[in-house]
Amino acid sequence: MPPVETHPRTPACLGWLTVAACLGVVPRALGDTWTLPADADARILKIGTDATYQNSNQQSDILSVYNIGDNQQRTFLYFDLSSVVLPKGQRLRSATLRLVASTAFGGNTQGQPMEVWRVNRPWMESRVTWLQADNNSPWSSPGGDFSGLGERPYAVNTSQPGNYGPVVWDLTELVDLWLDGVLPNHGLLLKSSPPNGLTFIQREFGGSGGSPDGPQLLLESGPGVPRLLGSLDAATGETVLSWQGVGTAVLQHRATFPSDADWADVSTPHGLEGFRSVVRVPSEGETRFFRLRLP
């Protein structure tokens, strides 16, 4: 395997090709911010083997990671990202999930990990239960179908908040993948290890107008190039490099890294697949390094 230059949120290609992110980009514009309230939230629970709880839908009730004894509860959240359009020359700088805690049923007095996972399939706020994503679609595993970064959740918080204290998780990695279209957005699942008696304020708490203490996703963009993705086309042997948008970046390459040699713009014409710019690079049997720069 050739050496691989790593950079946050920029994966490397397999095999002979290495993909590198563009560093030291000159800022072009100030960042934008978004404060997104949850578009759907729900609590699911099971208490022992009682089917009544496992089949109950808690659409408008408190949110929870309560986990004490045989009472285990989880929270589903969904945020619509369709209004988030990153300006040219910008990329996601941060994404923070914010919930407001309630200690009415106890707190996280032992600092247990409160985990955020990615939900793997659609679910209905008014139908989701411990056993089903909706009325006619059972989970493959009771408690929800979810995944993370390998075996790890996308984010963990071990704080011990007081009543009405904020609890936050850094979800930049996951939201960046959602915005880039790499992963489908089916929302988030929150759960905790026992003992934890913490609950959170739901979006419906303030009535039809919603509550400012309900779940929020706080986004901020900053200067930067799009994410450069690489994959191998098994049929042609070509490496496929792509990035979000048209005219948002210029692909560069060089043969060695680190090196004092300048990066050179790639002359290979790029195509368009959906909303992504695409360059197909034939395998040349040598290591080459690629990055994106601002146009």
Rg (CA), the chain: 22
Residues of the chain within CATH 2.60.40 domain(s) are 17-25+225-293
How far is the C-alpha of 217 from the C-alpha of 36, rounded, in Å?
5
176 secondary structure, DSSP code: H
Grouping H, G, I as helix, E, B as strand and the rest as coil, residue 204 is helix
Q: What is the pLDDT of residue 17?
A: 41
Asked if residues 255 and 289 have their Cβ atoms less than 8 Å apart, the reply is yes
Residue 98, both tokens: 């914010």
Residue 46, both tokens: 């099971």
Residues of the chain within CATH 2.60.120 domain(s) are 33-223
The average confidence (pLDDT) of the chain is 85
Asked if residues 243 and 227 have their Cβ atoms less than 8 Å apart, the reply is yes
Which CATH architecture group holds 17-25+225-293? Sandwich (2.60)
Q: How confident is the model at residue 152 (pLDDT cuts 50, 70, 90)?
A: very high
Grouping H, G, I as helix, E, B as strand and the rest as coil, residue 205 is helix
Residue 285, both tokens: 């049997």
Q: How confident is the model at residue 122 (pLDDT cuts 50, 70, 90)?
A: very high
CA angle 25, 29, 35 (to 5 degrees): 110
Residue 103, both tokens: 């200690």
Q: What is the pLDDT of residue 207?
A: 57
Which CATH architecture group holds 33-223? Sandwich (2.60)
Q: 43-57, 104-118, 130-144, 226-240: lowest mean pLDDT where? A: 226-240
My answer on whether omega of the bond before 195 falls inside 30° of 0, hence cis, is yes
Q: What is the mean pLDDT of residues 121-125?
A: 97
